[in-house]
Amino acid sequence: MAAVTVLCAVRGEDETAVVVALGAPGSGATVTRRCGDLAELLAAAAAGVGTVAVVSADLPGLDREAVGRLHRGGVRVVALSDGAASADRLRALGADAVLEGLDEAALLDAVRDTAPLRDPGSVLDAGTPFGLPGAVRTPSWPDVEAAPDRAPGAVVAVWGPVGAPGRTTTAVELAAAFAGIGGRGGRRRRGARGREAPAPAPASALLVDADTYGSSLAARLGLLDDAPGLAAAARAAGQGALDLPALARQCPVVAPGLRVLTGITRAARWPELPASALEVVLERARELADVTVVDCGPVIEADELLMYDTHAPQRNAATLAALQAADVVVVVGAADPVGVQRLVRALEDLREAPVPVSGRVVVVANRVRASAVGAKPDVAVRDALARYAGVEDAHVVPDDGPALDAAVLAGRSLAEHAPSSPARLAFLELADRLRAVVPQPA
């Protein structure tokens, strides 16, 4: 029989004892997530990471609503009380089993005896796009102990106006290209005087999902477990506890050389990403990876009403922190009449951003196609951007529905799924261009 998957949200010393007891050979259980708080537990439950939650009575926020949410997520609740009164309270909250004190044998019985509320197989299927098992990716979690002996890595912020111009796609493909995933797709690299240049050495890359309006990297990369790594990293940063190993623990390796820090699963959790914490996360990221690529949200204005209260959380803080830290800001717009207008205004907004943006700005027109802007669409879009925004060297990426749709359906980057597709080759060239402006690791 498959081991019962357990989410552990126990405070204090008992936490280790619970994990050791459940992790012992032959226990019939396996701890799939050690949760620091209730928010993390609920996220893990919603992601289908476990079928039983072991919680302690003193878990802040544990109430009837939380137990109900766990049940609705198919998770049974085994609660550890710390006295008779707390046992009564836990039963009243709806816990499925209440243990008075930590007795290992009783704990194992309670965990194993509680039949799952739903078949774990169906949990997996439900979390998979259209139930297609091929779309799921199994990441790895290698430990990192010491900072590498090199200059700090670079930060590339990928930003752009609303309207799904392709920020996430650009961020994913840039990070994959820096990591050398998918090779050159049959393309030669042009060097000086048109000679073939050697393929650049792969760098270690980290993708960060800082979009507080619609995070999507986890789903995009086929990650079933979409616990918000960025929120956990920000929390640790806020407590002064985000060292390199702690950041690495939140950043699974999803493909060779590519780590990902997933974003908040619900837009309402944006207050968990304050600028002060994000600054630290991005500084640490420079130690973890040669290049950190941040997928930003579309909105950058500061909330005027909150401007005077410098401690009030700002919804756009994560994006602003990324723009401020960035060595390069890639501004992505959609290559249709509306998209180009928005892009022109977005470039103005960026110049007036409420934080200093000192990184080099590179403009990308995405989904370039004749049906939207007429014959010779790349020339038309470049001309429009030169005329209205003074951008002479916009990078164009063709519309490539078949390749993008197939890659998204498979939960893979273009680099992995369609390395010689036209859009992917355009992103590869963009990465080559950025290499010239991104500080190179020694």
Ligand X SMILES: Nc1ncnc2c1ncn2[C@@H]1O[C@H](COP(=O)(O)OP(=O)(O)OP(=O)(O)O)[C@@H](O)[C@H]1O
Binding site for ligand X (CB under 6 A): 160, 164-169, 211, 214, 216, 298, 366-367, 397, 399-401, 404, 408, 423
Query: Which residues contact Mg ion (rule: CB under 5 A)?
Result: 167-168, 216
Q: Which residues pair with 81 in a beta bridge?
A: 100
Cβ atoms 39, 269 nearer than 8 A = yes
Token reading at 7: 């989410």
Q: How far is the CB of 297 from ligand X (least distance, A)?
A: 8
Least separation in angstroms between residue 405's CB and Mg ion is 16
| 111 DSSP 8-state letter | H
Q: Which is nearer to ligand X, 19 or 267 (CB)?
A: 267
From Mg ion, ligand X, none, which one binds at residue 169 (CB under 5 to 8 Å depending on kind)? ligand X
Closer residue to Mg ion (CB): 5 or 169? 169
DSSP 270: G
Residue 350 beta carbon to ligand X: minimum distance, rounded to whole angstroms:
15
228 binds, among ligand X, Mg ion, none (CB under 5 to 8 A by kind): none
Ramachandran class of 37: left when φ > 0, alpha when ψ lies in -120 to 50, beta otherwise: beta
Q: Phi/psi class of residue 210: alpha, beta or left (left: φ > 0; alpha: ψ in -120 to 50)?
A: alpha
Q: Nearest 5°: CA angle at 289, between 288 and 290? A: 140
Q: Which does 397 bind (CB under 5 to 8 A by kind): Mg ion, ligand X, none?
A: ligand X
Least distance from Mg ion to the Cβ atom of residue 4, Å: 36
**194 and 382 Cβ atoms separated by less than 8 Å:** no
Quote the CA–CA distance of 57 and 68 in Å, as a whole number. 16
CB of 160 to ligand X, least distance (A): 6
Between 170 and 314, name the residue whose CB sits nearer to ligand X: 170
Q: Which is nearer to ligand X, 50 or 297 (CB)?
A: 297
Alpha helices in 47-93 (DSSP H): 64-72, 84-93
Nearer to ligand X, 229 or 339 (CB): 339
Least spacing, CB of residue 37 vs ligand X, in Å: 27
User: Which H or E run includes 415?
Assistant: helix 414-417
3-state secondary structure 367-380: EECHHHHCCCHHHH
Look at residue 327 and give the partner it binds from ligand X, Mg ion, none, a contact being a CB closer than 5 to 8 Å depending on partner kind: none
Q: Which does 395 bind (CB under 5 to 8 A by kind): ligand X, Mg ion, none?
A: none
Considering CB distances under 5 to 8 angstroms, the limit depending on partner class, which of Mg ion, ligand X, none binds residue 402?
none
Residue with smaller CB distance to ligand X, 119 or 301: 301
Q: Are 273 and 264 in contact (CB under 8 A)?
A: yes
Q: Nearest approach, Cβ of 182 to ligand X (angstroms)? A: 16
Q: Among candidates 375, 325, 323, which has minimal Cα distance to 352?
A: 323
